[in-house]
């Protein structure tokens, strides 16, 4: 790569190494070949970097560019009608059982072309990018037939060619049971989910394999069958677990060495301990908790006690979390779940990168991608503190240049 050598100066850096702010006043960050070569107090900078082209931060805060590690942002249609139904008293599960919910998005997604899927997803991507996001995970799971599952993943891959953003795909064939397989979840797993996963993998469309382990979706043995295929293909796994009830999905995911388990409102201590042992990240999704007006918060104290890393994400989807702001997700994680602003920022940087197996992002340290978010704030707690305000000054992305 023939990259300019740049030197960020005259700002404060929150390095987020090991999940801590790691604040450096009057920082210098030297970048070469799209990577950070050195980061530290300017006064201690090795002389060689003084020849790099300076880029003045104007006294601002610089953090690693953000990572949104759990989204369903490729889909057809929207669910404003369901929103109205729920406001009249129907629960999320009642809507799902009555053929609405995820299945209604499946209908809209099946009838969308690849171009339609990309076109409707781009504004969602752009809104995240405008908040300093450099990497986004996108799941399939609204196709539930082989061709549409592949199309969703193709749309996700195409987005990565249209915008300067890293896209990580997760195959989520085990998301819901489509109407044509109602009452026959095992047959769906055999006929559609596993063949779709194999086809998607053969076409280079899959970075990880996800599932929805829940009473209204798939049982632990069904998820295990999908994970066995993932394992055979050499793909990492992650799981929507314990969102609405405790089926011990987190423990199952951990037994496969999962990158992450997500939602986790109903996880018990055994599940948390299993996650800690496996190094599985807990992905906290306050947008779904808020939208569904859940009352049981995930056990943050247990995650802390067991040393389980916490990520924070939007869960951006048309049903349970139409939340298109990672900064707002951070604020909600603090206010609803009592994360500290430091934990929330770690959740949207280093721990989110870890939940994606993305070793190049999430902290400011030598060897990491030179992808930065520069903010009009003086302290990183301000990123979680405001509601509905975007203080991004600039997203400075060197790894794409």
Contact mark string toward ligand DI6, 34..73, x via CB under 6 A: --------------------------------------x-
Paired tokens of 178? 């489509």
Report DSSP state, residue 183.
T
Does residue 102 bind ligand DI6 (CB under 6 A)?
Answer: yes
Does residue 315 bind Fe ion (CB under 5 A)?
Answer: yes
Q: How many Cα atoms are found within 13 Å in the side-chain-facing hemisphere of 184?
A: 11
Residue from the set 55, 243, 260, 363 that interacts with ligand DI6 by CB under 6 A: 243
Min dist. Cβ of residue 176 to Fe ion (A): 11
CA-wise closest residue to 218 among 141, 106, 320, 297 = 141
Task: Pick the closer one to Fe ion by CB: 15 or 321.
Answer: 321
Does residue 349 bind ligand DI6 (CB under 6 A)?
Answer: no
Q: Which of residues 36-65 bind Fe ion (CB under 5 A)?
A: none
Residue from the set 19, 236, 286, 318 that interacts with ligand DI6 by CB under 6 A: 318
Q: How many Cα atoms are found within 13 Å in the side-chain-facing hemisphere of 167?
A: 30
105 binds, among Fe ion, ligand DI6, none (CB under 5 to 8 A by kind): ligand DI6
Does residue 214 bind Fe ion (CB under 5 A)?
Answer: no
Does residue 288 bind ligand DI6 (CB under 6 A)?
Answer: yes
Is residue 82 a contact partner of residue 93, using CB atoms and an 8 Å limit?
no
Task: Name the strands in the sheet holding 208-213, side by side, starting at the edge strand that comes first in the sequence.
Answer: 66-68, 133-139, 166-174, 208-213, 238-241, 260-263, 281-284, 310-312
Report DSSP state, residue 181.
G
158 binds, among ligand DI6, Fe ion, none (CB under 5 to 8 A by kind): none
Task: Pick the closer one to ligand DI6 by CB: 7 or 284.
Answer: 284
Residue 125: Cβ within 10 Å count: 26
Does residue 314 bind ligand DI6 (CB under 6 A)?
Answer: no
363 Cβ contact partners less than 8 Å away, ≥ 6 residues apart: 15, 16, 17, 18, 64, 349, 350, 353
Site for Fe ion, rule CB under 5 A: 315
């Amino acid at each position: 790569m023939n990259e300019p050598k740049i030197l960020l100066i005259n700002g404060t850096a929150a390095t987020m190494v090991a999940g801590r702010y790691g604040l450096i006043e009057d920082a210098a960050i030297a970048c070469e070949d799209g990577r950070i070569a050195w980061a530290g107090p300017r006064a201690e900078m090795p002389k060689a970097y003084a020849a790099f082209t300076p880029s003045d931060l104007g006294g601002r805060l610089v953090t690693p560019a953000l990572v949104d590690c759990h989204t369903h942002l490729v889909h057809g249609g929207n669910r404003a009608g369901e929103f109205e139904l729920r406001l009249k008293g129907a629960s999320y599960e009642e809507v799902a059982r009555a053929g609405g919910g995820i299945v209604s998005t499946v209908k809209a997604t099946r009838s969308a072309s690849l171009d339609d899927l990309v076109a409707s997803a781009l504004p969602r991507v752009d809104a995240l990018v405008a908040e300093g996001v450099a990497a986004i995970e996108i799941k399939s799971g609204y196709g539930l037939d082989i061709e549409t599952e592949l199309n969703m993943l193709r749309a996700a891959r195409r987005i990565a060619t249209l915008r300067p953003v890293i896209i990580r795909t997760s195959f989520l064939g085990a998301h819901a049971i489509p109407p044509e397989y109602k009452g026959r979840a095992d047959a769906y797993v055999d006929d559609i989910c596993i063949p779709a996963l194999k086809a998607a993998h053969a076409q280079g469309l899959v970075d990880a394999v996800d599932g929805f382990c829940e009473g209204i979706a798939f049982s632990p043995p069904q998820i295990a069958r999908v994970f066995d295929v993932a394992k055979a293909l050499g793909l990492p796994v992650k799981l929507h677990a314990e969102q609405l009830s405790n089926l011990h999905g987190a423990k199952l995911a951990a037994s496969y060495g999962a990158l992450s388990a997500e939602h986790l409102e109903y996880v018990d201590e055994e599940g948390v301990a299993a996650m800690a042992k496996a190094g599985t990240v807990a992905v906290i999704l306050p947008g779904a908790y808020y939208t569904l007006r859940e009352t049981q918060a995930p056990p943050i104290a247990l995650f802390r006690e067991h040393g389980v890393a916490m990520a924070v994400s939007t869960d951006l989807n048309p049903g349970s979390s139409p939340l298109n702001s990672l900064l707002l997700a951070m604020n909600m994680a603090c206010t609803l779940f009592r994360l500290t602003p430091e934990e929330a920022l770690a959740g949207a940087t280093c721990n989110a990168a870890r939940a994606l197996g993305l070793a190049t992002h999430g902290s400011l340290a030598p060897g990491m991608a030179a992808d930065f978010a520069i903010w009009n704030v003086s302290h990183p707690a301000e990123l979680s503190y405001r509601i509905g305000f975007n203080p991004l000054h600039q997203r400075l992305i060197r790894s794409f240049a």
